A and B are shown apart, each in its own frame.
Chain A
Amino acid sequence: MATTAPPDATLSPLPRADGSAKYSYAGYTVTATVTGPIEAQRRDEHAYEAHVDVIVRPAAGVGGTRERHLESILQSSLSQLILVKNFPRTLIQIVLQVEATPDNDYVNTKLVQTSLNFPIIPALLQTAVLALLSAAMPMRATATSAVVAVVSQDGTSRTVADASARDIETAQSVHVLAFTSQDELLLAESEGDFTVEEWDDVYETAKRICCQSGASKAGIEMLVDDESLNGPDMRQFLRSTLETKVDADLHWK
């Protein structure tokens, strides 16, 4: 399964944009650029805050309603994070280019798919946050995101953290949650049949992936166990990626 590989990110791979990031995890590879704050067009201009423009481009085919929906979800989440009030009458443009999606050898996929693709949202959001950080955009908080599936097995349902494509196919319900770095819930999208108890379970699982931090762990042994059972520690990943980048940038040659 592709999920076993840890997430991987490169900051500022593209020289011409203000900020850019490439992120790959669980078979998804997304490149993002951030430009801004730049001059906004009259129709997008807002008197008191910056307009956040999110553009999602699929790897193959032209974007349709599915991409527009993804854009609207990301747009509302990201404008909560960026300090938009600091830049009135400007535009902050975030372009997300999907480069690769996990391929299934057992089915021939159609090019244009209309249903919303849940597992891609964490990849898009994570890349957007990394690109915003690379562009040094003032933000209230950073965000981490995870997809959690509820799979029913022999009459009992269980939550699967960092669900793989196969889990999602057979899942009863799929949830995407995002948390800010202050442990606040930023985004919650759900699909399928589920009860409130199940959602609470999902919430706890997602919160553990998104909000745990390496320092608060009891011991090394537990850390190793956690990694394999509950998926990666996203916040730690975000932090270490940035630390590496800053170290490399400040290194005096």
Chain B
Amino acid sequence: MPREAEPSLNERQFILQALQENLRLDGREFDQYRPLELTFGDQYGVADVTLGKTRVLAKASAEVTVPYVDRPLDGIFNIATELSPMASPAFEVGRPTETEVLLSRLLEKTVRRSGALDTESLCLVAGQKVWSVRVDVHVLSHDGNLIDAACLAVVAALRHFRKPDTSMESGILTVYTPAEREPVALSWLHSPFCVTWSYFGDEGEIALLDATWREEQVRVGSCTISLNRHGEICQIAKLGGTPVEAVTLLQCTNTALTKVKEFSSFLDKKLAEDIKRRDKGGLMAELSAENDR
């Protein structure tokens, strides 16, 4: 597969010089995201996130399987991120690139290990039957900042997702089809989001939010902070690159918190809009067989 074209020396210097003069190529502020859009599909659990020219589609699905032997009480939760040549011809099928490995690890740490989804609630029969929830992340168009867009898409897809309702009666497990019973939402504990900072300059003194692909190619380092709207940090990843001052990092974390609060309210708003759209005759509350927690 062909390699991704690198920016020329002129282009590189132009971007850096502009940044020194407090200007970005697309005229944004340093801590400003590109226009963010989120649409849900007709099916449950499909979220399409557009961040400028970056576009990520996440689809959640669930099926009943046998749990892992060492964790008989926990359901299975997987996030699959396979970058296809759709995003860029430099990605090859079946051969993960560094971007792909980092993306899947970061999503894993942010969403799975922060306990956003209560896996114990996915257990149906201890040691025999559990739900296996899977999120497939499809990158349709890659123009930088995949991590933030993918994380938002995954969280949105999972919160939008409804799994089939089940019941246990005298040892017999019944999984109801959507026609029999309205599917139920997952037991969701908190919504973490990623905010990625890119650093430029000799000592990483310039920090940008939501770098485009061009800017990502020129940056000297990056730092991804995952946190929820309560300010609870799930992980901070700064993988190599130029060292950055601790004070700068602290400031970055503070700004990240305000951005995460924005994401959180944005997602809440979109989810509420979608529920309203689906709830045409106002019968959703009656259809639901779910108990209040």
Contacts and interface: CB of A to CB of B under 8 A. Distances in A.
Interface hub of B53, B85, B175 (most chain A Cβ within 10 A): B85
Given A14-B140, A57-B138, A106-B179, A100 B93 contact: no
B57 interface: yes
B61 interface: yes
B271 interface: no
Contacts of A61: 61, 134, 136
B111 interface: no
Contacts, number: 78
B53 A15 contact: yes
B43 A100 contact: yes
B136 A59 contact: yes
Interface string B137-167: 0101111000000000000000000001000
A16 B177 contact: no
A90 to B, nearest CB: 11
A100 B84 contact: no
Interface stretch (A74-82, A91-99, A121-129, A230-238): A91-99
B41 interface: yes
In terms of DSSP, what is the predominant structure of the interface of chain B?
loop
Interface string A9-23: 000001111000000
A107 interface: yes
A108 B43 contact: no
A60 B179 contact: no
In terms of DSSP, what is the predominant structure of the interface of chain A?
loop
B61 A15 contact: no
Interface hub of A16, A17, A99, A111 (most chain B Cβ within 10 A): A16
Contacts of B178: 103, 105
A95 B85 contact: yes
A99 B179 CA distance: 23
Nearest to A95: B86
A33 interface: yes
Interface of A: 14-17, 31, 33, 35, 38-39, 41, 55, 57, 59-62, 93, 95, 97, 99-100, 103, 105-108, 110-111
The 10 A-B pairs at the shortest CB distance, nearest first, are namely A105-B179, A60-B61, A95-B86, A105-B178, A14-B141, A35-B89, A15-B53, A33-B86, A39-B2, A106-B179
Given A60-B59, A95-B86, 10 more contacts: A14-B141, A35-B85, A35-B89, A61-B61, A93-B89, A97-B57, A97-B140, A99-B57, A105-B178, A106-B179
24 contacts: A15-B141, A16-B53, A16-B143, A17-B86, A31-B86, A33-B85, A33-B86, A39-B2, A57-B86, A57-B138, A61-B61, A95-B84, A95-B86, A97-B57, A97-B84, A97-B138, A97-B140, A100-B42, A100-B43, A100-B46, A103-B43, A111-B61, A111-B63, A111-B134
